[in-house]
Amino acid sequence: MNKIILIIAALLFSVVAEAGRLKDMVSVSGVRSNQLVGYGLVVGLDGTGDKTSFTSQTFRNMLNNFGVAIPSDINPKSKNIAAVAIHAELPAFAKPGQAIDITVSAIGDAKSLRGGSLLMSPMKGADGQVYAIAQGNLVVSGFGVQGADGSRLSLNVPSVGRIPNGAMVERAVPSGFAQGDSLVLNLHRPDFTTSRRVAEQINHLLGPGMAASMDAASIRVRAPRDPNQRVSFLSVLENLNVEPARDAAKVVINSRTGTIIIGQDVSVSPVAITHGGLTVAITEDLDVDQPDPLAGGATVVTPRTGIEVDEGSGHMFEFSPGASLSDIVEAVNQVGAAPGDLMAILEALKQAGALKAELVVI
């Protein structure tokens, strides 16, 4: 199975890069989403709420806003209320009146938010301004049950839920999309060759001097000032096909799961590798010596230790100059190396300077 996984991974990463749409490779500078966060109360729980002091304080403040005053010496300990944190992502160009999805998470000792309803809660951005108002009924996929003896069974996480279209946008985030006489395209995977190819393809389509590479990640493109024309202009650009550059040779090792990915263009210098194993088996047996009936002796129990050593069959294979990915995979499969052995081999190759690739251990 390990051999099959290694071969499949190698073949997937040895495919030559093909042309793709520009919209899948870049993002427009200034066109981005923004994170929102808020705090609120979930009510209507079936005795699975929390009993923390800040929940009681929030509940008291909410009732005061509705004209209900609770005496200071009374502590409302309702198990049907939970204090929650709310977070969401405000998409680019979101306008007031549009709805966005939100995630609600318990921040106290609430056991479950199942069946609860979030009361009206403001959601703020990094600048402290309110950009959305959240409210609605929670959808919780997890559940939990607990017996009288303390035993408990839970599925997924019942203290986290979502509300589809649970927040209404109240304020739009200013965007620099329609400002200036140019746009900046940022590559998802910075590469000098890809940056140059993108600029060349745009200039080939629109004319010389329309695009210029700023660095390995950014390409500046001259664009119309009129917002309507700029939208049409960017629509043409994002459907432009560009062949990205091939990534640098890289070997990725996940030491926790034993997964090894060998990327394209990985090669090795002339080198010889030996691979072998040593197995030591120790067994303990008991020998019983019993004298003859008339000898008058005593029965003696003698321990007997057996040691077997299996040095295994040593494997050595040699890579010729310019050995490719397929050569490496074939050689490793021939020796039957386990993932742990393969990791040691690759690390030794890198230390010896024979592995012509970046070795990444995660």
The residue extents of the domains of the chain are 34-169, 178-242, 250-361
Helix (H, G, I), strand (E, B) or coil at 193: helix
> Tell me, what's the pLDDT at 280?
42
Q: For 121-138, what is each residue's pLDDT tens digit?
A: 999 999 999 999 999 999
Q: For 247-276, what is each residue's pLDDT tens digit?
A: 888 888 887 777 888 877 787 777 666 655
Question: H/E element holding 349?
Answer: helix 339-351
Question: Which of residues 281 and 189 earns the better pLDDT score?
Answer: 189
> Tell me, what's the pLDDT at 218?
95
pTM of the model: 0.67
Exposed, middle or buried by CB within 10 Å (0-12, 13-18, 19+), for 9? Answer: middle
Q: For 321-358, what is each residue's pLDDT tens digit?
A: 666 656 666 666 666 666 777 777 778 778 878 788 88
Query: Average pLDDT for residues 187-211, to the nearest whole number?
Result: 93
> Tell me, what's the pLDDT at 314?
55
**Gap between the Cα atoms of 155 and 164, Å rounded:** 21
Which distant-in-sequence residues (6+ apart) come within 8 Å of 55 by Cβ?
41, 49, 81, 82, 83, 108
Q: What's the mean pLDDT when you consider all of the chain?
A: 79
